[in-house]
Chain A
Amino acid sequence: MTKQGEILLDKVTRKFGNLTAVNAVDQVIEGGSYCCMIGPSGCGKSTLLRMIAGHEVPSSGRILIGGRDVTRVRTGERGTALMFQNYALFPHLNLTDNVAFPLKIHGLSAAERREKAREMLGRVQLSHLADRMPSQLSGGQQQRVALARALITNPQVLLLDEPLSALDEFLRLRMRVELKRLQNDLGITFIHVTHTQPEAIALADKVIVMDHGIIEQAAHPKEIYDHPHSPYVARFMGGQNVVAGQVEAVAGDSALLRGAEGGRFRLPLRAPAKQGAEMRFSVRRDKISLSPGETAGENALAGRVTNVEYQGTFVKVELATAQREEFVVYLSDRLFFARPFDFGDALVASWAPEDVCQLIGGNNSAGDALAH
């Protein structure tokens, strides 16, 4: 059974000369869900979005929307609408005619399409500016016009290409709320490309983390946060430290690791592990406690404070440890100021084994870890 607005990507590949921008991506995006695609620039997320919109044709593979194969269907006839990054409002048309443009293409009479466009402008609270030109609007207003123009044809799927990146911080947070509410009201599929982690986590029912043209992990944001698939996902999504060690012993579904500095880490296994193999796990930065000291026991790392940043509700403490990777601890402000630390202090950071997650994917993401 395929639901309206469901998107199925079947081995979708897009090559530009020698460069593979999107590499055999398989994915199902549920109809009516809010999906965020995230990754560094050049990871293939925008190309994937443009292929769903029909502005790019896959080199191979199929794209199905609502059960219909639209791989080669013209853009504008596949039930999608794309909201462009810089909105791409027509500079020669006023707001009403901008919003009415898709209806004009679909052959509606001038009176009919203007009435519908005004109605849609009302929905985004811009009725009073219906006769203005796009250049006379603020960024936030332009964004709402672009949204109205995209929604006027009642698409099954709304595609948003970094819709909030051109706005200032304050407006971005407000529009974020509006987008979520709009998606709730309309019940259609939203696919939102972003490179801002908090945006993806706050909005999405499903986050698709991409790198090098492949999907590293696709899951609910809580799952991505609690159980990152690979070191790349843990590092990119933030809020985690990645710690490496060698498997010393495996006992049932837990393993004992030995760090380069000689420390021992115990962690539950979610994938089989071999003795002697290298393994990485993530530790939530907000679930680590700090105490003065030079030597670390089990599930702990010793280090010196290299940076302290006050963040309002918490304090970010950076440690230099024997691990060759940054190690950051988020302490609640109350805890920190009860016993503050300073640059150069020798500390031991410790955590509970249940707050770590074995990282299954390879350390360097390069197409080796396909998560489903």
Chain B
Amino acid sequence: METKSKSLSFWLLTAFFVLFVLFLYSPMIAVFILSFQGPTGGMTFPLRGLSLHWFTDLFTSSRYGDLGGAFQRSILLSLLAMLVTVVVSFFAGLGFRRRFWGSGALFYLAIIALVMPGILTGLGIGTIFQTLGLRTNWLVSGLGAHLSWTLPFGLLIMFAVLNRFNGAWEEAARDAGARPVQVLGMVTLPIVFPGLIAVALFGLTLSYDEYPRSLLTVGTRNTLPIHVANLTANVTTPALYAIGTLTTFLSLIVIAGAFGTISLAARKRR
């Protein structure tokens, strides 16, 4: 019977793990709790009563600027970035399965955007637009800046997904007489579908909270992260926390939706 007291390493690792979890979740939990601060409360503990005051304040007061517009733009932008990321990563991943002339160079060119400081990428895009006499706009330069961030991630995820993909599946489909479009739609796509959901999730969230690349590329109309960052400069109420709670819930809903889609696809296979 092994009932001896646990070893030192066990306790050290446990302590490390607890610290990690605290570090990860305590800020989120603090923000969550403080967003329900009473009308007279401030941005720090203690709570002065519990209320939904700061949530209603967000929607009724005018001191938060165009918060709704920023939110709408961010949602639309992240959905677009997600869509492009999924489509491009999927086909690029399939293309990269075969070695072609310059494939190595192309891969590193795509990945280098991950290493570049985001603020520099944004600055570069802004400068080029100015040089060309174009106006930066969240749907054009903004989308481009976001894609420079989401595409490499999507591509890397696709590599991992396709690593476990057996090319013989496609050959078996061709052997049965399937044309290229049928192979893609009836074999390749359904098999890598869960991986594409992961790519979509990454594309969506990376774009939704993207700040440094957006700062100098979205033009005159801000996205949500920039708008919130600006608010922190002059708003000093728990309304900021209310924004945090709302967007966190939105993220949770999106993640639940993604998992739901994956398990639904899995059930269809049964």
Contact = CB atoms under 8 A, between A and B. Distances in A.
Nearest to B187: A90
Interface string B177-188: 110001000110
Given A77-B177, A105-B177, A106-B177, A88 B269 contact: no
Contacts of A91: 169, 191
A153 B172 CA distance: 13
Nearest to B268: A92
Interface residues of A, number: 29
B173 interface: yes
Contacts of B68: none
A8 interface: no
Nearest to B265: A92
B270 A94 contact: yes
Contacts of A149: 172, 176
Contacts of B174: 55, 75-76
B175 A76 contact: yes
A90 B168 CA distance: 9
B182 to A, nearest CB: 6
B158 to A, nearest CB: 17
A88 B166 contact: yes
Contacts of B168: 84-86, 88
Given A86-B168, A88-B168, A133 B175 contact: no
A84 B172 contact: yes
* Size range of the chain B interface in the assembly: 10 to 19
B66 interface: no
A82 interface: yes
A137 to B, nearest CB: 14
Nearest to B269: A92
Nearest to A106: B177
B69 interface: no
Nearest to B169: A88
B190 interface: yes
A102 interface: yes
A34 interface: no
A102 B183 CA distance: 11
Give the top 8 A-B pairs by smallest Cβ distance, nearest first.
A76-B177, A102-B176, A88-B168, A88-B172, A105-B177, A92-B190, A82-B175, A105-B178
